[in-house]
Structure 1
Amino acid sequence: MLIQTEIGRVAEVGKALRDAPGVESADEVTGPYDIIAKVHASDLLTLGRSVTGAIQKIPGVTRTLTCPTTRHLNLPEDPSPHRENDL
C-alpha cells in the first residue's frame, strides 16, 4: 500500500501504522507517495476494512493506493547487502 501524508508528518504516520490492523512493515519512500506499507489480510473485505477503517483515518494521511498482490515471486537474494555508501 502506498500512503501519501501531509508535509512533515511521515514519522507520525509511520508510528501510527504500528497499531493498524494487518500492517506488517512500513518504509519511507521518495516520489509522489511518502510511505510504502505491507498490509496482510485474509481476504479483500478484511483488507478494505483495514484501509478504510484504520489506515485512512490516521491523522496526516491524505491519500492511499492499495495494490493487492496476486502471487509472491521467490527472487534470489542479492549476495551483497545494500550499503548506504553505495548510493
Structure 2
Amino acid sequence: MLIQTEVGRARVVADQLAELPGVTSAEYVTGPYDVVVRIGADTLDELTASVVPTVQQVTGITRTLTCPIANGAHP
C-alpha cells in the first residue's frame, strides 16, 4: 500500500501503522508517496473489509493506493 501523508507526518504515520494488525512492515520514504506499507490477511475479503480501512483511519494520511501483489506470494 502506498500512502501520502500530511507534510512532516511520514515518520509518525509509519510508526503508528507498524503497530496495526495486518501490517507486516511500514517504512517512510521519499518521492511521490511518503510511506510504503506491506499488509496481509488470510483472505481478500478480510483485507478489504478490515485491514485496509484500519490503515486508512490513521491520523495524518491524506491518500492511499492499494497495490495487490500479482503472484500472491509473501514472505
Length-normalised TM-score, structure 2: 0.84
1:45: how far off?
1.4
3-state SS of 2:3 partner: strand
Is 1:70–2:61 an aligned residue pair? no
The equivalent of 2:32 in structure 1 is 32
1:18: how far off?
2.1
The equivalent of 2:56 in structure 1 is 56
Aligned length: 72
- 4+ aligned runs moved over 3 Å, structure 1: none
Whose Rg is larger? 1
Residue segments in structure 1 that go unaligned for 5+ positions in a row = 74-87
Residue segments in structure 2 that go unaligned for 5+ positions in a row = none
- % same residue: 47
Length-normalised TM-score, structure 1: 0.74
